[in-house]
Structure 1
């Protein structure tokens, strides 16, 4: 496969890499984490100023119409810096679903503020009893006057405690695991019928448990017809996570190699130990396999549903396992200090573990891949 970048893609890669390199050192990241929303407000403003928040949106919505490759380039850089900002939650998931389902009026009211950095979104789709299944929806939406009232609970909503608006999936028809009958609603999290309990995840990000009790929601898209758009957006989110994992794995490998070169034992660098050299090579092999699968996933987003979902699940499963392997090897070769908060490698390890869990872990995606029929275009 020829994966040469065009001029615009190289410029995008240079811009985001320079931003992360100059504004996201390890100590800077620690300071951003202590800010009220859990990320750097200054960095979020810079992402908007540089036009990076507009990348995935169409030109009609004020974006630049970037696709899977642009998403790959952005999130590889974010992974190298272990960024904390809600790009995935606001731009890829929340903004992506609104762009697919929202009316012209809804998009015009919200997306310009998202692109400008003034508004943040979160996608509340997972439920405590639904596991990783996005179409297992027990939250109900009932007509109330001229609008809708939502009742139910959503779990592990990424950046849900700082989002200005929530996009909530709720069932307007059918049983809890039916494909038909799933709708999406815009919900103000500050209203009386919404309870948001925020917390930190082990990798330094933020998530929330959201409880809805007759909360007012604004329907986005067709009633009961959100399943296809939801799956497409979650596939895009998986590709972003795969790319972020590759960036994090790159840094974990570099930190480990540097440690092997500089850590002295018995008067010589420990990197002269042949066993450690072999383990370092195994880490690099895992990284390159993950990179190839991330590219495959990014280049599959425009395919038909079956081919896209199958390839993205394959990428997510392999990269989840590869990320865990690299994280474990990096920690072991750093020894006891690799477990401390002062060691950057420990934070890369935690992010890689969490990436495996976000939007479905390796077991979920392996089973999903095995259950999906091989589409005709993959047989060619």
Structure 2
């Protein structure tokens, strides 16, 4: 299989990297990440003008990409820039609506592509432990519509999103794959209570409480009770995005650490000449290449289906979690005490690598999932 990027993908990556180098340097990113909003609506629109969100979808959804490698190219670049704008949620929500949404819901995808709308993925719940099918929020029919009740946690940019994609159970038990339904919920809808807070790796997230939220019938995404398949499809692309973002962040952490080893001197010589440090750095470089291979494998598999797809995705997320933590630790230690300081960009890359492990399932969760899927018959 040819893993070389097409010319269109290379051009998109070059445009994105150039834009971030000129307009989204670390000082700008740090100011945005620490702002009251936790992101920049203006930057969101400017990124979208480059075609970033359009690369997430195929032509039928109004985009020009949609392949796993289209997404990988974009998120690797976003990882290099530590971008805090909510592109992961745009990808997951957009893929879900493109996959199962009605015409009105697919208009939201078009608005995100244009930079005119922001959507947030409201699925995780307190105590869900990353289990995709563990949903306790409830949706009940009322007349021609629905009433939602429940709580969602760590909803990134939940304070500022125009709409939320909310999972709720319409039947079956709280651990069952069957009976999960998805709804498009306006953030300003009556009964939606949002409490925002700052994230340790930059930006903001929110706890969302749903109290008797009344919705129209056409807010249901796809068929009633059939939301798990849509979630699995959309979250799979999110895992590819996170793996690729982590690779981009690792590359920058590597570059900063190598530069420090070449310039920091002890006993009159660069510390990079010390054999012990050379061995540690060589191990880091090998681990990063393994992470890159896992991300490539996930991007190649995400367009498939069944057990092979899910195992490749979990393998990549496990690898990224384990390797990301090691790269973060080694980069900081090789920098010495300065590696922990807020003023040094490296410390922010290290925090982001650690936090990526906790999005959409950490390494322990995905290792267990990989083993469990290995026991299942191939689809």
TM-score normalised by L of structure 1: 0.96
Q: Matches of 1:374 and 1:21 in 2, distance apart?
A: 46
1:333-374: CA deviations, max 9, x gaps?
111111110111100000000000000000000000001136
Match of 2:179 in 1: 181
State the 1:188 CA deviation. Answer: 1.6
1:169-225: CA deviation from partner (whole Å, max 9, x where unpaired)? 000010101111000011122223011111111110321111111112321110000
How do 1:63-82 residues align onto structure 2 when only pairs under 5 Å count? 63-82=63-82
Q: Is the 8 A contact 2:236 2:310 kept in 1?
A: yes
Residues in 2 aligned to 1:276 and 1:356: alpha-carbon distance in whole angstroms: 26
Equivalent pairs, count? 376
| CA deviation map 1:246-272 (0-9, x unaligned) | 000000010001011111112111111
Deviation of 1:233 (Å): 0.8
2:105 — aligned with what? 106
2: CA distance between counterparts of 1:120 and 1:216?
21
1:46 counterpart residue number: 46
CA distance in 1, matches of 2:28, 2:104: 39
- Higher mean alpha-carbon deviation, 59-68 vs 74-83, is at 59-68
The separation in 2 between residues aligned to 1:348 and 1:224, in whole angstroms, is: 40
What is the RMSD computed on CA atoms of the aligned residues?
1.5
- Which residue pairs with 1:237 in the alignment? 238
Contact 2:34–2:203 at 8 Å: present in 1 too?
Answer: no
User: Gaps spanning 5+ residues in structure 1: where?
Assistant: none
Distance 2:289 2:65 in 1: 28
2:96 match:
97
In 1, Cα distance between the equivalents of 2:11 and 2:58?
A: 19
Aligned-partner Cα distance in 2 for 1:172–1:365: 27
- 1:212-251 equivalences under 5 Å are 212-217=210-215, 218-251=219-252
Counterparts of 1:287-306 in structure 2, within 5 Å, are 287-306=288-307
Rounded to whole Å, the distance in 2 between the matches of 1:262 and 1:233 is 44
**TM-score, L = length of structure 2:** 0.96
Aligned counterpart, 2:286: 285
- What corresponds to 1:144 in structure 2? 142
Q: Secondary structure at the match of 2:301?
A: coil
Between the aligned partners of 2:109 and 2:300, the Cα distance in structure 1 is: 25
Secondary structure in 2 matching 1:328:
helix
- Which SS does the other structure have where 1:186 is aligned? strand
- The answer to whether the Cα contact below 8 Å between 2:34 and 2:202 also exists between their aligned partners in 1 is no
Aligned to 2:124: 126
Match of 1:170 in 2: 168
Q: Find 1:210's aligned residue among 203, 208, 211.
A: 208
Contact in 2 for aligned 1:307/1:375 (Cα 8 Å): no
Equivalent pair of 1:200/1:206 in contact (CA under 8 Å): yes
User: CA distance change for structure 1 residues 262 and 202 in 2, over 3 Å: closer, same or farther?
Assistant: same
1: CA distance, partners of 2:220 / 2:3: 40
CA contact (8 A) 1:56 1:66 kept: yes
**Number of the residue aligned with 2:357:** 356
1:187 and 1:216 in contact (8 A); partners too: no
